[in-house]
Amino acid sequence: MFAKKILKKLSVAFCLIVSTYAATEVTEIEVVQSLGLGKAVPGYFKILTFDKARWNAFADEFPAQPVAQGIKQNLESIQLSPVVFSREEIYASEFFKQKMRETYDLSFRAERTFAPFMRAVDSDGMFAGILNILHTTEGDAVGFEAAVEELMVQSQSVVASYNHRLEASGGNSELLKHFLSKIFFANDTYTNSVLTNMRLVLLADGLVAGDDYLFGSEIDPSHTIAQSLLKCIELEGAADTLVLGCGHSLVADVTGTSAYFADDFSKAYTKKAFVNSCQHCHCDHDGQIAVAITEGGPSANISYDGGAHADIFGDAVTSSFWDALAQLKTEGRSPIKNIIDHAFMLSVHEEFISNSLDIGGTFRTYLTDLTEKLAVVGLELQGTEKFGARTEYIYVKVR
């Protein structure tokens, strides 16, 4: 243990010396940074543990650093165990009481009086008060009771799906990714010796792993998304599906659930500040490699926060991205057999998509009117699948 501490201190000291030297090369660093760390130069890192004691110990090593203290102060927002709930608990929640009131206002109120005020009643009082208003109109009371029951079924489905994904993923990583992005993707990541020190400690303590250059003393402008893909596969295991513009949601897509219902419910019910960063869709992308989309080019003011639900943050709509995929396929190192487009941005990338897939590979997208364009490059429409209000089109490469 003593030897490990000595080695760690020596490694940190060496890294500080290198970073101090690098900080003197201001002009060169500024030019390299203009490439857009995590944008033109892709970024991938993986959180290796959710052990709160170990993350607290990391934060204690940097008492003057706001990002480290942010991690410490928000650790309790990381949800690790399934939410224990019952029908009665859901019904008694402030969230459910509010939803009952909203249901009345939207569907039944018309010219009637207001529903009971939120602060004046509990859930029983809200339910009884609304029924008392509706009982004089034939059918409305029955309709309201049915709407409340439907809301209960949706709520139970959401929590059950949330728990399933929570257990499958081993916890909610979005909170830590939010803070770690401020260490790995800050504008002064390679000129700030403390940030360099923090990255080295994260690596040495086995808290985080990822692209090698992220733990070095300077950016590697030659790093490609192909390298990030290979590192992701190395650390997380091979996945045959790549999803673009979306990520690992902890909330399922429950039939009949309105937009944002699932996330809003989970936040209110679990009392957690960070529940699910992926609002793009509620599809299940577990076991797939997720790549975020950086819109607007390298100069766009986009942080990793926007891709905290994804595995890799990089510009997945450029030719370099598709060249990397095609290169891996040519070299026989690409496990990708399926590409899912949830970015709504790939309408002019049909040739790139085809070149990245072997015959029999699939491409799925919400975009319409692509059948003729994709047929030209050997992708034929095989069917559709409904996800809530959206329809996903499924294409297979036939030649």
Tokens of 303: 């942080």
What pLDDT was estimated at residue 11?
Answer: 45
Q: Is 310 left (phi over 0), alpha (psi -120 to 50) or beta?
A: beta
Can you tell me the distance from the alpha carbon of 92 to that of 81, in angstroms, rounded to the nearest whole number? 22
Q: Which amino acid is at 250?
A: L
- The upper half-sphere exposure of residue 121, i.e. CA atoms within 13 Å in the direction of its Cβ, equals 17
Six-digit token pair at 375? 């047929």
Q: For residue 72, how many other CB atoms are within 10 A of its CB?
A: 19
Q: What is the pLDDT of residue 212?
A: 93
pLDDT of residue 22: 37
Pairing of strands 312-313, 289-292: parallel
Nearest to 176 by CA among 147, 210, 145: 210
- What pLDDT sits at residue 15? 43
Label residue 348 exposed, middle or buried (CB < 10 Å: 0-12, 13-18, 19+). exposed
Amino acid residing at 64: A
**pLDDT tens digit string along 276-334?**
545 456 677 878 888 876 654 444 555 555 566 778 887 777 777 788 888 888 888 88
R_g (Cα) of the chain, nearest Å: 25
Best CA proximity match to 289, nearest among 346, 329, 235, 330: 235
Return the biggest CA–CA distance within the chain. Answer: 81
Q: Which residues of 140-161 are buried (b: 16+ CB within 10 A; e: fewer)?
A: bbeebeebbeebeebbebbbeb
What pLDDT, on the 0 to 100 scale, is given for residue 363?
A: 96
Output the pTM of the full model: 0.72
Taking each helix axis from N to C end, the angle separating 225-236 and 319-330, rounded to the nearest 10 degrees, works out to: 60
CA distances in angstroms from 243 to 294, 340, 377, listed in the order given? 14, 5, 20
| CA dist., res. 66 & res. 103, Å (int) | 42
Which secondary structure element, helix H or strand E, spans residue 43, and what is its range? Answer: strand 43-47
Closest CA to 39 of 388, 273, 303: 303
Q: Which residue type is seen at 343?
A: A
pLDDT computed for residue 348 by the predictor: 83
Instruction: Give the pLDDT of the chain (399 residues) as one tens digit per residue.
Output: 434 444 444 444 444 433 333 333 332 333 333 446 666 688 899 899 888 899 999 999 999 999 999 999 888 877 777 777 889 999 999 889 999 999 999 988 877 889 999 999 999 999 999 999 998 777 899 999 999 999 999 888 888 877 877 777 667 777 788 788 889 888 888 889 999 999 999 999 999 999 999 998 888 888 888 888 889 988 988 889 999 877 777 776 666 666 567 677 777 777 776 655 454 566 778 788 888 766 544 445 555 555 667 788 877 777 777 888 888 888 888 889 999 988 777 888 889 899 989 999 999 998 999 999 999 999 999 999 987 677 899 999 999
CA 361 – CA 353 distance, rounded (Å): 10
Token couple for 148: 């409340």
364 SS3 class: strand
CB-count burial class (<10 Å; 0-12, 13-18, 19+) for 267: middle
Contact call for residues 392 and 385 (beta carbons, < 8 A): yes
CA-based angle 388:394:398, to the nearest 5? Answer: 175
Angstrom CA distances, 325 to 36, 103, 245, 313, 329, stand at 21, 48, 16, 15, 6
* Amino acid, single-letter form, for residue 311: D
